[in-house]
Amino acid sequence: AQTVTQSQPEMSVQEAETVTLSCTYDTSESDYYLFWYKQPPSRQMILVIRQEAYKQQNATENRFSVNFQKAAKSFSLKISDSQLGDAAMYFCAYREIQGAQKLVFGQGTRLTINP
Amino acid sequence: DVKVTQSSRYLVKRTGEKVFLECVQDMDHENMFWYRQDPGLGLRLIYFSYDVKMKEKGDIPEGYSVSREKKERFSLILESASTNQTSMYLCASSLPNFVQAQETQYFGPGTRLLVL
């Protein structure tokens, strides 16, 4: 079974600085999707960024980018120019390409932004 | 805009009560999911559904059942609530596999359930 591990329960960063959240996963599949979801204190989970495993290029969405290392099964999220609104729980998630479309989530990392 | 709504944000129930959590999506999505979220465990899948009247067990289905009578609505049922079912429950929906850009799941705001 696939597993996703986020080893940092909590992280903090100064406003305007850069922070990297770590995620590792385990799978025997060669093609899959990886995601970072954000859950602000209001609790609505929203997608931050996604990566298709067959694409070598790292995904980028404005201030958010990933470092996808397929061989190492690592998928970290970098947030540049951190803003107060980035404070949230961040979840890394995995999904198979075919078959069951369920997401397998990591434990989450709580990110605090210090003004 | 994609919208997933859940019937209650907070719910307090007694042990042994039958509990219904409702989820509605307005995006005509085929797939719907129920997860529970617990600190330190992330989100875990309880049940999911690919279509009306279809359901599949997730990773932790024990103590739960689901109902999908209409495409837009997916209900989670706790037949006899227990204190270990105190948790945050999140509903999500997505397009089917054969649709381009279908991999994203859209989440509701969550229902925080307390079982006393």
How much is the average pLDDT of A17-24?
Answer: 98
At residue B38, what is the residue type? Answer: D
CB atoms B42 and A91 under 8 Å: yes
In sequence order, the β-bridge partners of residue A74 are A24, A69
Q: How high is the pLDDT of residue A35?
A: 95
At residue A60, what is the residue type? Answer: T
Q: How high is the pLDDT of residue A100?
A: 66
Nearest residue, CB atoms, B42 vs list A44, A47, A105:
A105
Please count the residue pairs, one from chain A and one from chain B, whose beta carbons lie less than 8 angstroms apart: 56
The confidence band for A56, taking pLDDT boundaries of 50, 70 and 90, is confident
**Greatest CA span in chain A, whole angstroms?**
44
The alpha carbon of residue A31 is apart from the nearest alpha carbon of chain B, in Å, by: 13
Residue A102: name the closest of A26, A7, A21, A35 by CA.
Answer: A35
- According to DSSP, the β-strands at A19-21 and A24-26 are unpaired
Residues of B with Cβ-Cβ distance to A6 under 8 angstroms: 42
A4 contact B CB<8A: yes
- According to DSSP, the β-strands at B10-13 and B111-115 are parallel
- Number of residues that this document lists for chain B: 116
Q: How high is the pLDDT of residue A14?
A: 97
In sequence order, the β-bridge partners of residue A110 are A10, A89
Q: How high is the pLDDT of residue A45?
A: 92
Q: How high is the pLDDT of residue A55?
A: 87
How much is the average pLDDT of B7-19?
Answer: 95
| Pair B40, A7: CB distance under 8 Å | no
* Phi, psi angles (nearest 5°) of residue A23: -155, 130
**Cβ atoms within 10 A of the Cβ of B107, count?**
23
Nearest CA in chain B to A43: B109
Three-state secondary-structure class, residue B57: strand
Q: How high is the pLDDT of residue B99?
A: 57
At residue A26, what is the residue type? Answer: D
* Per-residue pLDDT at A21 exceeds 80: yes
The token pair that represents A73 in the structure block: 């099964």
Nearest CA in chain A to B45: A102
Q: How high is the pLDDT of residue B61?
A: 96
Q: Tens digits of per-residue pLDDT, B55-107?
A: 999 999 999 999 999 999 999 999 999 999 999 999 999 887 655 556 688 99
